Amino acid sequence: MAQVLEFKLPDLGEGLTEAEIVRWLVGVGDVVAIDQPVVEVETAKAMVEVPCPYGGVVTARYGEEGTELPVGAPLLTVAVGGTGAPEELAEAAPGAAPTVGETAADSAVSSEYSGNVLVGYGTAGPAARRRRVRHESHAVTKTPAPAPATAPAAPAPAAVAGSGHEGPVPVISPLVRKLARDRGLDLREVRGSGPEGLILRADVELAIASLERPVAAPAVAPASAVAPTVAPAVASAGERVPLRGVRGAVADKLSRSRTEIPDATCWVDADATELMAARAAMNAAGGPKISLLALLARICVHALARFPELNSTVDMAAREIVRLPAVHLGFAAQTPRGLVVPVVKDAGTRTAESLTAEFARLTEAARESALTPADLTGGTFTLNNYGVFGVDGSTPIINHPEAAMLGVGRIIPKPWVHQGELAVRQVVQLSLTFDHRVCDGGTAGGFLRYVADCVEQPAVLLRTL
């Protein structure tokens, strides 16, 4: 006899607590293999395919494409351990009670379960581990799965009063807590519509809307007479685009940066003619091509060695500046899904060739939406080449919780005084936005001036080799 097991959205790591269903890869009635990707989801950091640790027949799916689910919410149910005959699937439909004890049926389930779900890195785990994980993981549920609805059920109304939560408030997402806190909403008075009363973002937004909704005047006309006056007001409100996924993550991070970091910006024009000539000479010598971004990264690394204050973060709880031992260099990359900041780990130990290759790998992965959470976290300093957009200058917003960001504008021919004479040179504007808590203008100016000197005279770097 087949058993129905419920597969829940696994812990995605890196502080991610929710994901949006982008595309289902299987349908009800499909046969899935162990560790086969079943759904494509978008988190605040990346788009990934989630593999199912069970092998069997899909009996139900939960959530339509575009639905945002919290970690731990049901994704689908799979009938495992049976022959797949229609009558057996009917017995194993959601709601049928599987056995609880360790039986022969359980052994069959064990053979149809990989026991490990790690998004973005595959799911295969050591055989000795699989058995133990099966009993520990919340993804394996030996209780009856809920019956799938033919249409999405309307969420329970978010009560602003009278819900009476006792004990811990059922909230997973820190964004939901922050939204409620910023709007003065007591989560104990909100009724959750998620699994086991979990409070979702939609519940909080509904509760806030009910609090802010003006009291309607007594009706003096039938509803049919009032309706025509309501439609134009709604239509005139404009298009509403949800802030979620990558766009929502960018909004949250940049808002936090502006709120918490007292930043300042300084900038300088530099003659990049010699740097461009040096790159051309390196590439003419044969071997792997060196990118301009890689040379700028090398300059940043050497500048941070001289001014380590800018490779740091601030711990306000401890009232300490934490200077970081390694440079993990983030760089801004524009993709069809929005702005992302992949991170080149240990940039200070890499050659120009290694940096070029890693920049190319991460950029391609960003375009293909194949970046993992590990590729997008851990940065200590960011290099932002906005010159690719055809602009000269900008005042970058620091990538929280870092302490600084170097911005590079386009390199274009401009009149420039060179060796006492007016000449046409390749000029670039460099800008540094820095956290004024970690250093003062003297340090920031020294860093930026050193970067400009290296751009104007790449031979300056030879003294640090």
Cis peptide before 373 (omega within 30 of 0): no
Which residues on adjacent β-strands are paired with residue 42?
Answer: 20, 47
Tell me the C-alpha distance between 49 and 70, whole Å: 16
Tell me the C-alpha distance between 77 and 80, whole Å: 10
Token digits of residue 189? 């008075």
Token digits of residue 431? 């800008």
Give the chain's radius of gyration (CA, Å): 28
Per the model's pLDDT, the better-predicted residue between 193 and 32 turns out to be 32
For residue 132, how many other CB atoms are within 10 A of its CB?
Answer: 10
So what's the pLDDT on residue 130? 35
Give me the mean pLDDT over the 177-190 stretch. Answer: 77
Strands 338-340 and 343-344: unpaired
Contact of 121 with 173, CB cutoff 8 Å: no
CB contact set of 407 (below 8 Å; sequence gap of 6+): 267, 384, 385, 386, 393, 394, 395, 396, 430, 431, 432, 433
Tell me the C-alpha distance between 465 and 448, whole Å: 20
DSSP state at residue 66: T
* Predicted confidence (pLDDT) at residue 161 exceeds the cutoff of 50: no
Domain boundaries, the chain: 3-136, 154-212, 246-464
Q: Could you tell me the pLDDT band of residue 212, with boundaries at 50, 70 and 90?
A: low
For residue 123, how many other CB atoms are within 10 A of its CB?
Answer: 19
Please give the class, per CATH, of domain 246-464.
alpha beta
So what's the pLDDT on residue 173? 59
Selection from 435, 427, 353 nearest residue 392 by Cα: 427
So what's the pLDDT on residue 80? 85
Give me the mean pLDDT over the 351-361 stretch. Answer: 95
Please give the class, per CATH, of domain 3-136.
mainly beta
For residue 8, how many other CB atoms are within 10 A of its CB?
Answer: 21
* Predicted confidence (pLDDT) at residue 100 exceeds the cutoff of 60: no
* Predicted confidence (pLDDT) at residue 5 exceeds the cutoff of 70: yes
Query: pLDDT exceeding 70 applies to what percent of the chain?
Result: 70
Average pLDDT, the chain: 77
So what's the pLDDT on residue 175? 62
Active-site residue set: 436
The answer, as to whether pTM is greater than 0.75, is no
Selection from 312, 285, 331, 338 nearest residue 47 by Cα: 338
* Predicted confidence (pLDDT) at residue 328 exceeds the cutoff of 80: yes
* Predicted confidence (pLDDT) at residue 434 exceeds the cutoff of 70: yes
Q: Does domain 154-212 have CATH number 1.20.200.10?
A: no
